Structure 1
Amino acid sequence: MALEDMPTERLRAHVAAELERTRARSALLTDSVDETDLVRQHSPLMSPLVWDLAHIGNQEELWLVRDVGERAPVRCDIDELYDAFKHPRRKRPDLPLLGPTEARDYVAEVRDKVLDILDRAPLEGRRLVDNAFAFGMIVQHEQQHDETMLATHQLRTGSPALDAPAPPSAPADVRSLPGEVLVPGGPFTMGTSTEPWALDNERPAHTVDVPPFFLDTRPVTNGEFMEFLAAGGYDDPRWWSEQGWAHRQRAELGAPQFWERDTDGTWWRTRFGRVERVPPQEPVLHVCYYEAEAYARWARKRLPTEAEWEKAARFDPASGRSQRYPWGDADPTPEHANLGQRHLSPSPAGSYPEGASPLGVRQLIGDVWEWTSGDFHGYPGFVAFPYREYSEVFFGPRYKVLRGGSFGTDGAACRGTFRNWDFPIRRQIFCGFRCARDPRPGELE
């Protein structure tokens, strides 16, 4: 049942279950390492895990305890410590942060108050609480930080701390899957005005006319990226933009992050503390925008625009409407997509036929965040809500948009309209890509 159709008590029960499920994931990510690892900064790009944990609680207190619940503060003395805009990540270890025990006690106390508020607060009457939006915003915020903490686990050294079953093998029909499909030209509805928990940058719904284009049916694989490496792609400036080539030289890029090649030419990767051969059938992971852009040019293709990506992921040519997901409007299941840290790696390219779009494009949701060529900006009619710092302060050409989520993204924080963004040099996130191309002369006749 859609959120907006749920009776109030059922909606309260749903929210409580989402809060509990999300907190269990946060606990797994923080309880799986010792206190030394919790307070250590594993990379200047990331916060200590203990900062993320207390920040989750502080945001929950600010919005649900103080605003929705109109209750007295739990710890107003720590607001500035856990304000993400006050302190860059690289400087957070120097702050007088709550220790592991204190942080756990704090988030537990906040949660107790939130569950009491959930039982009593009206879930209608103002935009912040309609359809439990503020609670959904907090669920998504915590899940986003859970994915950030998962990326921190990938950067930490030492013995493995996390475990999960391997993804299923590729489906039997993967060999017969066409390499690309034609996405017909024409208008479609981009964004949403009706998704109850959609965030401000996904709104409002608006019509975009997209010319016809071809899109790969699956993400680019490790094996395909190895061909780019073998062809000297990292050493040939023809494939790189001016900014990309400058960054490639400055950062001395030579392969995806966490890859190393041994003396016989075999590529190995480190995956959550385990060293393994790079599996050629998996979508390539941990490449920055510039690497993705260079590969696409080498392959005589390009990255899709953000509108192209969303049209391929949501538009149903038979009905003419935009769906919530490639497969329809139903929430994702394990048969549709690799989400929620169920596995600790992407599934083989071409997986999840039940999650395919009406045109047959697979893995648009889950597995790897996909770089698009779009800069991050607000849609026509954008209105910041409930605060400018969620989206608006990031608008502009400095950030590129990623779509679709990864194996570390939870279903509550991923849908066909969801937008992620980051600097084009970033690759510690679970990012990959797929290619698009324009029709050749006469190809559509």
Structure 2
Amino acid sequence: MLNADTTDPAVLRELIAGELAAARERTGRLTDCVEDDELVAQHSPLMSPLVWDLAHIGNQEELWLLRNVGGRDPMHPEIDPLYDAFEHPRSERPSLPLLPPKEARGYAHDVRGRVLDLLAASPLEGSPLLDAGFAFGMIVQHEQQHDETMLITHQLRKGPAALTAPAPPDHADRLPAEVLVPAGPFTMGTDTEPWALDNERPAHRVELPAYWLDTAPVSNAAYQVFIADGGYDDPRWWTERGWAHRQQAGLAAPLFWSLDGGQWMRRRFGTLEPVPPREPVLHVSWYEADAYARWAGRRLPTEAEWEKAARHDPATGRSRRFPWGDESPTPAHANLGQQHLQPAPVGSYPAGQSPYGVRQLIGDVWEWTSSDFHGYPGFRVWPYKEYSEVFFGPEYKVLRGGSFAVAPVACRGTFRNWDYPVRRQIFSGFRTARDAGEEA
């Protein structure tokens, strides 16, 4: 994984080639495990057919690397509109004349071969897109983000399991429920992360009052207490819009949960199983997370509170790349990369905790924050406004930290995700916070 010290062109080319290969290997696992009829089907109106993602990955790689970086002519300009995510919403994509699976795979393979030739000849410097291999890193992250999207599609599809993975290691410790993050400034965002996207920039000073933060994400067991206490039936805990949505959508539990003889069950990638009480709660909307926090006498943390807990080192005053330091994630630090198709028990990954003692800030589940998605002070669009800027505003809530479905290359202490507050198909959970002056 790239860091600011990787400057040797040969080392950088090797690293980029490895990241490109890792992303494509994951794409292959997600698309080779089902028959063609499942690739072309739309398993939910919320998601694209898997075959659309497959060709879209190749199309974006051609657009940014072969055309913008390499100056090559378009290979198949007639398909560009089909794979423009802004031109066709997901619900319309099954009706488009998409490339069939064999042709989509062939197109992506052909693009990749030409990209590797381009990489071998590229100076990886001399322009903003080339410096530190930024454009290649952007494309690697793009493919890995679509790999997470395709995993969500697998969770939504009906039928027997097509994917398997071992359970994450169970090395959870008994921990205090919350930790105190003292008042003071910290540096939020980054100016030095080579492949950081525009919404992560620039670095800026943020002053925060003291607050308490959950040591680990909210567990399934804790969330079941909220359900049993009538949390879904009491409008006191919900915002006005949240309550209206709860009623309209008939929400009564996290997505994919069902009651069977008094026991909560969940469907996970085609398998029905008891809800594991010690895992972080998963597949909850922002409205549900916010209602739980209110019911518990707490609140969701702001995005700045989340990042300070994840990055600030009180001993030095600097902000780290990750909670554990600046080194890239390993399996000892966090549950990432679809190596385990479920979160680890709350309190796991002691090697990944922050200086404040907070665990699982990276990996396992995306964590809802209370913050709307906006640009930082001094934000500058790069390299195109459709990546971030068009989503700025109160319609979207920020999620932080990544999930078990996220690749390490697309997850760091500054990485920002966002979605509508109604979304539940994503791998979302949360932790809660409270002001330091409040009684527990």
TM range (shorter): over 0.9
- The CA distance in 2 between the partners of 1:94 and 1:4, in whole Å, is 47
Amino acid at match of 2:361: L
SS of aligned partner of 2:155? helix
Q: Secondary structure of the residue that 1:329 maps to in structure 2?
A: coil
Rounded to whole Å, the distance in 2 between the matches of 1:85 and 1:442 is 47
Partner of 2:232: 234
Q: Which residue of 1 aligns with 2:273?
A: 276
Determine if the alignment matches structure 1 residue 295 to structure 2 residue 292: yes
Partner of 1:192: 190
- The secondary structure found in structure 2 opposite 1:434 is coil
Q: CA deviation at 1:74?
A: 1.4
Distance 1:22 1:180 in 2: 36
Q: Could you list the per-position Cα deviations for residues 102-154 of structure 1 after superposition, in whole angstroms to 9, with x for gaps in the alignment?
A: 00000000001000000112211111110000000000000000000000000
Q: CA deviation at 1:243?
A: 0.8
Q: How many residues align?
A: 439
Of residues 414, 419, 435, the one that matches 1:417 is 414
Mean CA deviation greater in 88-97 or 68-77:
68-77
Q: Is structure 2 residue 408 aligned with structure 1 residue 405?
A: no
User: C-alpha separation between the residues in 2 aligned to 1:401 and 1:2?
Assistant: 25
1:393 matches 2:394: no
What's the offset of the Cα at 1:262?
A: 1.4
Determine the C-alpha separation between the residues in 1 that align with 2:148 and 2:392: 22
User: Quick one: which amino acid aligns to residue 197 of structure 1?
Assistant: W
Aligned to 1:127: 128
Between the aligned partners of 1:25 and 1:441, the Cα distance in structure 2 is 46
Shift, 1:235, TM fit: 0.1
Alpha-carbon distance between aligned partners in 1 of 2:292 and 2:439, rounded to the nearest angstrom: 26
CA contact 2:367–2:428 (8 Å) conserved in 1: yes
Superposed, which structure 2 residues align to 1:27-426 within 5 Å?
A: 27-171=28-172, 174-175=173-174, 177-263=175-261, 265-426=262-423
Distance 1:38 1:235 in 2: 39
Q: Is the 8 A contact 2:62 2:111 kept in 1?
A: yes
CA distance in 2, matches of 1:3, 1:238: 48
CA–CA separation in structure 2 for the residues paired with 1:31 and 1:306: 37
Q: CA deviation at 1:441?
A: 5.4
Note the alpha carbon deviations across 1:65-112, whole angstroms, 9 max, x for none: 001111121111111000000001001000000000000000000001
For residue 442 of structure 1, report the CA deviation from its aligned partner: 8.5
Q: Secondary structure at the match of 1:29?
A: helix
Q: What amino acid maps onto 2:280 in structure 1?
A: P
The answer to whether the Cα contact below 8 Å between 2:3 and 2:193 also exists between their aligned partners in 1 is no
Per-residue CA deviation, residues 265-293 of structure 1 (Å, 9 max, x unaligned), is 10000000000000000000000000000
Contact 2:200 2:415 in 1 (8 A): yes
Q: Distance in 1 between matches of 2:178 and 2:284?
A: 22
For 2:52, give the aligned amino acid. W
Secondary structure of residue in 2 paired with 1:118: helix
The alpha-carbon deviation at position 5 of structure 1 amounts to 3.0
Equivalent residues of 2:4, 2:192 under 8 A apart: no
The code of the aligned residue for 1:267 comes to W
**What is the alpha-carbon distance in structure 1 between the residues aligned to residue 218 and residue 405 of structure 2?**
18
* Structure 1 partner of 2:432: 435
List structure 1 segments (4+ residues) > 2 angstroms apart after TM superposition.
1-6, 440-443
Gaps of 5+ in 1: none
User: Quick one: distance in 1 between partners of 2:266 and 2:414?
Assistant: 32
TM-score (norm 1): 0.98
Report deviation, 1:440: 3.0
Amino acid at match of 1:129: L
1:442–1:302 Cα change, 3 Å? closer
SS at match of 2:167: coil
Relative to 1, partners in 2 of residues 1:441 and 1:352: Cα closer, same or farther, differing over 3 Å? closer
